[in-house]
C-alpha cells in the first residue's frame, strides 16, 4: 500500500521510557506511523540517564532529542511545547507513545485540517480502548490492526464518558496562538480537558472523528497516575479557573504565560 503524504505534518512524541513495555510500545507505534505515512516524526526523551538505547533502536529518519531531567515526574506539557517550537511544518500531530489509530480516521482528520474546516481535530470519538496484555502481544506479533477491530468487545474502555487524550492534530500557528500547553499541568492527567476547553472559549474550531483509539496496555507507575493526593484537585482548580473566564480574559491569561 502506498504511503499517505503527510509531508506538511510532524508527529510529536514526548516520552520517558520507564518500562520495557513502554519501549516496545514506542517502537511499534512509530513503526505503524512510518509504515503508513510519508511524514516527519520527532521524539523527545526526557530522563535522568541517557541509556542511548531508544536512539539506537529508532529508524535513522526519526528526529530524536534527549533531555536530561532529574525530576521523577515527567512534565509532559513542557516537553510538548519544546517539540512544537522545534518544528516548522504547517500542521502537527501530538501523539502518545502507546496508541494506534486506524488510518482512515487519521486521513479524515488531515482532510478537515487541510481544508481549514477546523483548527484542531481529535482523531477518535468516545472509544479509548485498552488492549489488555494478551491483545497487545497479539498485535505486536501480527502488526494486524484488523485483529484489534475484531476483538474490541474484549477491551476495557478508559476515561469515559468523553475521552479526549492520546492524540490530536492541529494547525501549528493556531495552536501556538492558543497558548500551546498550559505548563501548570505538571505530571499525568487533566491537561487534555484543559486544552479543549481553552480552544472552545477562544473560538477555535475543534472536531472529533468517529472511530476508536487503541491503547497498547502497560504498567502504570508514577507517570501514568496522579502522583500525589492533591494533584487532581489542583488541576481541576486550574480548569475551573479558565472555564470561568471570558474570551478576552483567557486571551490575556494565555498571553501572560506565553511571555514568561
Cα maximum dimension of the chain: 52
Residue 6's pLDDT is what? 98
3-state secondary structure of 224: coil
Q: DSSP letter string over 184-234?
A: T--SSSSHHHHHHHHHHHTT--EEE-SEEEEE------TTSS-SSTTHHHH
Residue 224's pLDDT is what? 53
Residue 63's pLDDT is what? 98
Grid cell for residue 23: 519501549
Kindly provide the b/e burial profile for residues 100-114, where b requires at least 16 CB atoms within 10 angstroms of the residue's own CB.
bbbeebbbbbbebbe
- CATH assignment at residue 211: 3.90.550.10
Where residue 227 falls among pLDDT bands split at 50, 70, 90?
low
Calpha distance 185→77 (Å, rounded): 7
Phi and psi for 224 in degrees, rounded to 5? Answer: -130, 10
Domain that holds residue 216: 4-258
Where residue 223 falls among pLDDT bands split at 50, 70, 90?
very low
Q: Is the pLDDT of residue 186 over 80?
A: yes
Q: What is the pTM of this model?
A: 0.93
pLDDT in tens, 115-142: 999 999 999 998 999 999 999 999 999 9
pLDDT in tens, 148-165: 999 999 999 988 778 888
Task: Give the pLDDT mean for 12-36.
Answer: 95
Calpha distance 194→243 (Å, rounded): 9
Instruction: Enumerate residues 6+ apart whose C-beta is below 8 A from 232.
Output: 189, 190, 226
Q: Give the residue, 41 or 185, on which the prediction is more confident.
A: 41
Number of structural domains found in the chain: 1
Task: Give the pLDDT mean for 224-245.
Answer: 74
Amino acid at each position: 500500500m502506498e504511503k499517505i503524504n503527510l509531508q506538511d505534518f510532524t508527529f510529536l512524541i514526548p516520552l520517558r521510557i520507564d518500562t520495557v513495555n513502554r519501549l516496545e510500545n514506542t517502537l511499534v507505534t512509530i513503526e505503524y506511523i512510518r509504515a503508513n505515512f510519508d511524514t516527519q516524526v520527532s521524539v523527545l526523551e526526557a530522563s535522568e540517564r541517557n541509556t542511548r538505547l531508544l536512539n539506537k533502536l529508532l529508524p535513522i529518519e526519526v528526529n530524536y532529542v534527549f533531555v536530561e531531567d532529574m525530576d521523577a515526574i515527567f512534565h509532559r506539557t513542557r516537553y510538548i511545547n519544546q517539540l512544537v517550537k522545534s518544528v516548522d511544518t504547517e500542521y502537527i500531530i501530538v501523539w502518545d507513545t502507546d496508541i494506534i489509530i486506524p488510518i482512515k480516521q487519521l486521513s479524515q482528520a488531515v482532510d478537515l485540517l487541510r481544508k481549514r474546516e477546523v483548527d484542531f481535530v481529535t482523531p477518535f470519538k468516545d472509544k479509548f480502548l485498552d488492549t489488555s496484555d494478551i491483545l497487545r502481544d497479539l498485535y505486536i506479533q501480527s502488526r494486524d490492526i484488523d485483529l484489534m477491530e475484531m476483538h474490541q468487545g474484549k477491551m476495557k474502555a478508559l476515561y469515559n464518558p468523553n475521552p479526549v487524550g492520546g492524540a490530536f492534530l492541529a494547525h501549528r500557528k493556531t495552536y501556538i496562538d492558543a497558548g500551546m500547553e498550559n505548563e501548570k499541568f505538571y505530571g499525568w492527567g487533566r491537561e487534555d480537558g484543559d486544552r479543549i476547553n481553552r480552544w472552545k472559549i477562544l473560538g477555535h474550531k475543534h472536531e472529533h472523528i468517529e472511530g476508536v483509539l487503541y491503547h497498547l496496555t502497560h504498567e502504570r507507575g508514577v507517570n501514568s497516575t496522579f502522583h500525589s493526593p492533591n494533584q487532581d484537585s489542583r488541576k481541576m482548580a486550574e480548569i475551573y479557573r479558565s472555564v470561568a473566564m471570558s474570551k478576552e480574559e483567557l486571551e490575556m491569561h494565555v498571553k501572560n504565560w506565553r511571555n514568561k
